[in-house]
Every structure is written in C-alpha cells, then in structure tokens.
Amino acid sequence: MASASPSAASTQTTLPSGLAVFKTIPYAFILPEILCGIWVWILVAATSVSLPLLQGWVMYVSLSSCLISLLLLISYLFGFHKNSENWKVLDSLYHGATAILYMSAAVLQANATIRSEFGPNSPLYYQLNSAASFFAFITTLLYILHAFSIYYH
C-alpha cells in the first residue's frame, strides 16, 4: 500500500537561477531593494551631511547593503547556489539582519530630517532628507518582506 505522505524530494523547493529570479516572489525583491537603497545613498549624499554621525551610518548601511545584495543577485542569476538548502538560510539571515540595520538607519535618517528642517538651506535639504527617509523606510519594508517570505516559499 502506498503512503499518502509526499516524499522528501518533492517537498524541497528549488532555488531559482537565471531570469527566473525575477519571477519568484522572495527573490524578486532583491532588485527593488538595490534600487531603493541606491536612492537612499544618493539622496543623503546630495545633502550637506550636516549630521555626520547620523547620516554616516545611513550611507554605510545603504551602500554596503546594496553591494552585498548585488552580489547575492549575481550569484542567483548565475546559479552559484547549486540548489543548496544552505542558501535559503543564508538569504533569510542576511535579509533579516539587514532589515534590522536598515530600520536603525531609517530612524536615524528621520531624526536627521527633523533636525534639518530649520538649518541653513532648509527647504532643499529638508526635501532631500525627507525623500531619503521615505526610501529608507521603503527599503526596510522590502528587506522585511524578503526575509519573511523566504519561509513561505
């Protein structure tokens, strides 16, 4: 009599490679994460960075996250993962940790935005800081969605 439970091989999902990365939900978040993170870096760099301790952390998190996410995207595109289950764990841990770091950066950028409201050249820098805060929170949301959706994939 055949068993009703599925075999272990059929429950293991395959990791995408090539252009299928852009069609699979958890991995399709990588490109928007990179693009929004680049916008955060550009917008903060366009300001006078009057609060280097706050905005320096924001620039560090956004630039390093973009570079690591780009390397992760390239590794998925070229199939370096070889369908290993360890890559799912690595991906989830990376995106979870980066979501926490990005949340701290987004809060610090929001603080810098509030402080820049009445500074020199306040209208221009306030608008740039506001846009950087917006994209920092959007990027945080993308990293959170990626980290949690990897479990449901």
pTM greater than the 0.75 cutoff: yes
Token pair belonging to 138: 């959007």
Length of the chain: 153
- Residue 109: what pLDDT? 94
- Residue 97: what pLDDT? 95
Cα 73 to Cα 9, 10, 94, 140, 147, distances in angstroms: 26, 26, 13, 18, 15
DSSP one-letter code for 16: P
Residue tagged 């320096």 (tokens): 56
Coil vs helix vs strand at 48: coil
Q: Taking 60 as the threshold, does the pLDDT of residue 134 lie above it?
A: yes
Q: What is the DSSP string of 57-117?
A: HHHHHHHHHHHHHHHHHHHHHTTTTTT-HHHHHHHHHHHHHHHHHHHHHHHHHHHHHHHGG
CB 113 within 8 A of CB 129: yes
Question: Cα–Cα–Cα angle for 89, 107, 53, nearest 5°?
Answer: 100
pLDDT confidence band for 120 (50 / 70 / 90): low
Q: What is the pLDDT of residues 19-34, one digit of tens each?
A: 767 777 777 888 999 9
Q: How far apart are the C-alpha atoms of 109 and 102, rounded to whole Å?
A: 10
Q: What is the pLDDT of residues 66-77, one digit of tens each?
A: 999 999 988 888
